[in-house]
Amino acid sequence: MSQKKSAPSDAPIEVLRLDNQLCFALYGAANRMTRLYRPMLDALGLTYPQYLAMLVLWEASPRTVGALGDALDLDSSTLTPLLKRLEAGGLVERARDPEDERRVIVALTDKGRALRDQAVSIPEKLFCALDMPLETMGALRDQLKTVAK
Amino acid sequence: MSQKKSAPSDAPIEVLRLDNQLCFALYGAANRMTRLYRPMLDALGLTYPQYLAMLVLWEASPRTVGALGDALDLDSSTLTPLLKRLEAGGLVERARDPEDERRVIVALTDKGRALRDQAVSIPEKLFCALDMPLETMGALRDQLKTVAK
DNA sequence: AACGATTTAATCGTGTGCGATATAAATGCA
DNA sequence: TGCATTTATATCGCACACGATTAAATCGTT
């Protein structure tokens, strides 16, 4: 029953099998999710991370770069260029906080606020595309929040 | 109880809330997982996607670029540069298949095979770092495999 | 007030992901 | 056979992620 002998050095090692790895399941699911969103987001002119940043801003604008980074769990080295592209697209404005010149305040423009009207249909389209019961989805989401946190 | 009136255009819309989105939970968990692996993989001189590619090759080498792409669900535009870096590191060799010159065969070198001995300890370290019951992990993994597939 | 420590963004370099396109080899079929 | 089609990689451009570093502003302590 118990197979304690060490495997020969060129035998497959069960613990390393790709199929068994949570990390790979996560990696693949995240990539597939991005691909699923892409056609819908193309229509809005947004990338997937840009969409997530807009979700945060639609909840509350203005926000500092740091606050956005906390919400998205991203560093300024990722966010700064992303926000500059949103600014170039006219969706946000960036300005130093007069109260504390270290901070940069990111605020939605009218165009950025207006884009939300086109985004509201996305979650439902995605829900259909995923074809997964709502409770399953919620449970999965809540479990994922606990991963590596 | 039921709140059917349409929200004013600047009110938060429940369906767009970041906290409710499976996509964001997935995005964040995948990023955190990569960060968790990084220090361990740095010791092997591998990036996270490179580690996944090596997992595939440790299961069976040689493999064509296409077979690797199928296993990892990645395009040649992602794999080719990654494999060139593995080749530059002396872990794999790439050569055209004489049987079919369109194909490129990727094979582990001795160094690539030897690296597996240092990788075997990673899954256990990760399992400890994740601090999640084994059954929960397995269930989560299996659910993720069904996402957007 | 002074000045070192801390905080906040930005910058830079490396390595992905992926759409679009290119190229060459193999295949199909009239 | 000849040639269009298909298949297998590679190339290119753009946009992340993130570690490391930098620069500027603020804070704390004296």
pLDDT of residue A15: 85
Retrieve residue A109's tokens: 């423009």
Is A17-127 a domain of CATH 3.30.750.24? Answer: no
**Tally of helices (H runs) and strands (E runs) in chain B:** 7, 3
A39 CB-near residues (< 8 Å, 6+ apart): none
Residues B72 and B51: their CA atoms lie apart, in Å, by: 11
* Structural class in CATH, domain B18-126: mainly alpha
Residue A47 contacts strand C, CB under 7 A? no
Measured between CB atoms, which of A23, A29, A52 is closest to B24? A52
Domain ranges of chain B: 18-126
Residue B95 near chain A (CB below 8 Å): no
Q: How far is A21 from chain B (nearest CA, A)?
A: 7
By mean pLDDT, which of A3-17, A76-90, B70-84, B85-99 is the weakest?
A3-17
| HEC readout, B45-108 | CCCHHHHHHHHHHHHCCCEEHHHHHHHHCCCHHHHHHHHHHHHHCCCEEEEEECCEEEEEEEEE
B8-31 in b/e form (b: 16+ CB < 10 A) is eeeeebeebebeebbbbbbbbbbb
Task: Classify residue A139 by its DSSP letter.
Answer: H
Residue B47 contacts strand D, CB under 7 A? no
Residues B60 and A12: their CA atoms lie apart, in Å, by: 8
pLDDT of residue A11: 59
Share of residues in chain A with pLDDT > 70 (%): 92
With CA atoms as reference, the chain B residue closest to A28 would be B73
- Residue B112 CB-half CA count within 13 A: 27
The yes-or-no verdict on residue A3 having pLDDT over 50 is: no
pLDDT of residue A19: 83
Question: Rounded mean pLDDT of A78-89?
Answer: 98
Kindly report, residue by residue over A13-35, the tens digit of the pLDDT.
788 888 889 999 999 999 999 99
The yes-or-no verdict on residue A59 having pLDDT over 70 is: yes
Residues A112 and A108: their CA atoms lie apart, in Å, by: 5
Angle between helices B48-59 and B110-119 (to 10 degrees): 110
Tell if the CB–CB gap between A26 and B29 is shorter than 8 Å. yes
pLDDT of residue B12: 64
Tell me the one-letter amino acid at B53: A
pLDDT of residue B9: 54
Kindly report, residue by residue over B7-51, the tens digit of the pLDDT.
455 566 788 888 889 999 999 999 999 999 999 999 999 999 999
Which residues numbered 36-75 in A keep a CB inside 8 Å of some CB on B?
36-37, 48-49, 52, 55-56, 58-60, 71-74
Question: Rounded mean pLDDT of A4-8?
Answer: 45
* C chain positions with any atom within 7 Å of a protein CB: 7-13, 15-20, 24-27
Biggest distance spanned by C-alpha atoms of chain A: 70
B2/C18 CA-to-C1' distance in Å: 43
B128 CB-near residues (< 8 Å, 6+ apart): none
With CA atoms as reference, the chain B residue closest to A148 would be B130
